[in-house]
Chain A
């Protein structure tokens, strides 16, 4: 237990909160995608994290082979994952919709294994990074470091989220998606091609993950097997915030980021992943206990 370090070095609090918010922004972005398909398609996408890492690898690939600055690869990564997830929708997901949620969990779990392995075969198991070359800023007499990449990813995350929200509200497809999520039958009766809506929703989630992946490639490192923690985090954010509540997703995403940073400082980095996963269990139990008083349960 390293609680003492916060008194000897008080700026670490600032650092932790800063880092937490910036990491949390990326988490929220991924979680927003998950909430979208969960809400609209009633599917839990376990390969969410793999889409993120896939997007990261696209950024890395362009950076590594063509020397393109990762900042400019974001659209490409986003588009690529958009297409991949659309193909996956056509092949697999289309058969999972309207089945038991467990089926979608298992099927996407299977997909995540395949994607992981393919990434390993194509890009190798080496750890990779894409350097954005943005440098670092310092606060408080050089004690708090603010890597510009992280600030940048915060901005991008907010921007993308804003675009998606605007898209949902004002475009025709966005309205169709929202209509389908509210009442599929009614939407169908009113002439919405729900099948198409599902396909695009799933692919839009892919595009969001692709952006997040680029950001992860710039701020952290990539590895074919590091996707699952991202899935779990976004799942956690979604169940704390609820489906479709955008502000809540952002706050709980950043809350998770900050909490994770503090856990890292206090109980040690080795327990960080374990902490995230245990937190998930506790949040689920806590939420269901609250509902239990009203004789309801998590649905």
Chain B
């Protein structure tokens, strides 16, 4: 337990001090924390529960829109705000801005959870590849539909309330959102770490390993699956809300329901680090972020080829991820006792 405390302290230390160490990178750092959150929440389904979802991005986009709509709708008419591509400008006063943000964050966690329940009742009955493709369809449909709805700006997108200048400089704003991102990451991390140690985590693993048997043993699998999805939706909703506010502008397909970018990245990040572990997605997300920034800057115009290659290489040649590889190499360090004689004949796949 002492070791855990040390790790926690290290994370806290990094999280709190890094914006002061790298003042020019505050926004990037907030994105890193959110990326980690993405891959952690994807892993609840993909790694722990065995349901490979392409559609978790829906909750992210929903959170983004919900928060912005609440922030605007509390004080102004949404129709007027989005009219003509957000032509009119309404300025929030300081108390208005912060109440809006607070209430928005609350709603942006509730609405995705509700939608996770509704969608889950239908889709979580479906297994395997059908679930994967179904969720892929869901993610893309959401973006297309959002860009057809006029009141939320349609294809024009929607602007998010501007940080009131009286409240401070943009550096302060970035700092505020940095700490909110960090806090939401920390919340996700601690919550998942706790829940993976409880019966709940074991049940998720049981569903992954053999759902029929789990059901036969009397586990109400459907309930667990839905709760699992709700957990992801809750945190993803919040992260969407934060990302929307940091961007200041929501584009339905490029910004909110980005099934083919962020939606895919969260899977790759988790796979890169090793799915089904707590630390895998974290390491994967950090690695991926650097890979992405590096290649994106180096190869103007070729970055998507690089990304595609990364996807193929990771999936085909390196499916167990970094943590899986480490676990196989040094099983003792992971608290697994290996009986050399008995496993020597077994090839771990």
A residues neighboring B (CB under 8 Å): 44, 92, 95-96, 99, 101-103, 105-107, 109-114, 116-118, 121, 228, 232, 235, 239, 268, 270-271, 273-275, 277-278, 280-281, 284-285, 288-289, 292, 297-299
Once bound together, how far apart are the Cα atoms of A274 and B252, in whole Å?
A: 12
9 tightest Cβ-Cβ pairs between the two chains A and B: A110-B311, A274-B144, A114-B308, A277-B141, A113-B308, A280-B137, A117-B304, A101-B129, A110-B312
User: Inside 8 A of B310's CB, which chain A residues have their CB?
Assistant: 110
Are B148 and A271 in contact, with the CB atoms below 8 A? yes
Partner of B127, one of A270, A273, A278, A297: A297
Query: Which of A95, A99, A281 counts the most chain B CB atoms within 10 A?
Result: A281
State whether B147 touches A281 (Cβ < 8 A): no
Q: List chain B residues, Cβ under 8 A from A285.
A: 122-123, 125-126, 134
Q: Confirm or deny: B315 has a beta carbon within 8 angstroms of a beta carbon on chain A.
A: yes
Q: Which of B130, B137, B302, B309 contacts A110 (CB 8 A)?
A: B309
Q: Which residue of A lies closest to B211 (CB)?
A: A297
Q: Are B304 and A113 in contact (CB under 8 A)?
A: yes
Which of chain A's residues has its CB closest to B119's CB?
Answer: A281
10 further A-B pairs in the complex, CB-CB below 8 A; given A274-B142, A281-B122, A285-B126 = A105-B129, A113-B308, A114-B308, A114-B309, A117-B302, A270-B144, A273-B141, A274-B148, A277-B140, A285-B125
> What residues of A have a CB within 8 angstroms of the CB of B311 in the complex?
106-107, 109-110, 113
Residues on A with beta carbons closer than 8 Å to the beta carbon of B309: 110, 114
In the complex, which residue of chain A has the Cβ closest to the Cβ of B140? Answer: A277
Contact between A277 and B129, CB atoms less than 8 A apart: no
State whether the Cβ of B267 lies closer than 8 Å to any Cβ in chain A: yes
A292/B125 in contact, CB under 8 A: yes
Partner pick for B315 among A103, A117, A281, A298, CB 8 A cutoff: A103
How distant is the Cα of A289 from the Cα of B148 in the complex, in angstroms?
30
Q: Judge whether A270 and B147 touch: CB under 8 Å.
A: yes
- Chain A residues in 8 Å Cβ range of B136: 232
With A116-B304, A289-B125 known as contacts, the answer to whether A107 contacts B130 (CB < 8 A) is no
Contact between chains at B132 and A105 (CB < 8 Å): yes
Known contacts being A271-B144, A277-B144, is A102 close to B304, with CB within 8 Å?
A: no
Contact of B133 among A275, A278, A284, A292 (CB under 8 A): A284
Minimum distance in angstroms from A124 CB to a CB of chain B: 12
Instruction: Produce 1/0 per residue, B214-229, CB < 8 A to A.
Output: 0000000000000000
Most B-side CB within 10 Å, residue of A96, A235, A268, A288: A288
Inter-chain contact B133/A103, CB cutoff 8 Å: no
Given A105-B133, A109-B264, A270-B147, are A284 and B312 neighbors across the interface (CB < 8 Å)?
no
Verify if B301 is at the interface (C-beta below 8 Å from A).
Answer: yes
| B234 to A: closest C-beta gap in Å | 22
A103–B125 contact, CB under 8 A?
Answer: no
B306-322 interface mask toward A, CB cutoff 8 Å, 1 = contact, 0 = none? 01111110011101000
Min CB gap A257→B, angstroms: 18
Task: Write the B293-335 contact mask toward A (1 if CB under 8 angstroms, else 0).
Answer: 0000000011011011111100111010000000000000000
With a cutoff of 8 Å between Cβ atoms, the chain A residues found around residue B140 in the complex are 228, 232, 273-274, 277
How far does the alpha carbon of A271 sit from the alpha carbon of B123 in the complex, in Å? 22
Q: Does any Cβ of A come within 8 Å of B128's Cβ?
A: yes
Interface secondary structure of A, over-half rule: helix
- Min CB–CB distance B323 → chain A (angstroms): 18
Contact yes or no, B128 A107, CB < 8 A: no
B195 contacts A by Cβ under 8 Å: no
- B74 in contact (CB, < 8 A): no
- Assess the B319–A103 pair: CB atoms within 8 A: yes
Q: When chains A and B are docked, how far (Å) is the Cα of A28 from the Cα of B315? A: 30
B317: chain A residues at CB < 8 Å are 95
B128 to chain A, nearest CB (A): 6
User: Can you name 23 A-B residue pairings with CB atoms under 8 Å?
Assistant: A44-B129, A95-B317, A96-B316, A101-B129, A102-B132, A103-B316, A107-B311, A109-B311, A110-B308, A110-B309, A111-B308, A112-B308, A114-B304, A114-B305, A117-B305, A117-B308, A228-B260, A232-B136, A274-B144, A280-B133, A284-B133, A284-B134, A285-B122
Interface residues of B in 244-261 (CB under 8 A from A): 260
B154 closest partner in A (C-beta): A270
B55 to chain A, nearest CB (A): 9
Residue on A nearest B307 in the bound complex, by CB:
A113
Minimum Cβ distance to chain A for residue B115 (Å):
13
Residues on B with C-beta less than 8 A from A105 are: 52, 129, 132-133
A103 to B301, CA, bound (A): 27
Min CB gap B347→A, angstroms? 15
Q: Are A274 and B141 in contact (CB under 8 A)?
A: yes
Q: Which residues of B contact A289 (CB under 8 A)?
A: 125
B145 interface contact, C-beta 8 A: yes
**Pairwise interchain contact B144-A106, C-beta atoms closer than 8 A:** no
Determine if A232 and B148 form an interchain contact, defined as CB atoms under 8 angstroms apart. Answer: no
User: With A and B bound together, what is the CA distance between A257 and B120 in angstroms?
Assistant: 29
User: B138 on the interface (CB 8 Å rule)?
Assistant: yes
Q: Give the residues in chain B near A292, CB-CB below 8 Å.
A: 125
Q: A259–B304 Cα gap in the complex (Å)?
A: 34
Q: Are A277 and B316 in contact (CB under 8 A)?
A: no
* Residue pair A288, B125 in contact (C-beta under 8 Å): yes
Asked if residues B141 and A281 are in contact (CB atoms below 8 Å), the reply is yes
* Contact of B130 (CB < 8 Å), options: A103, A111, A239: A239
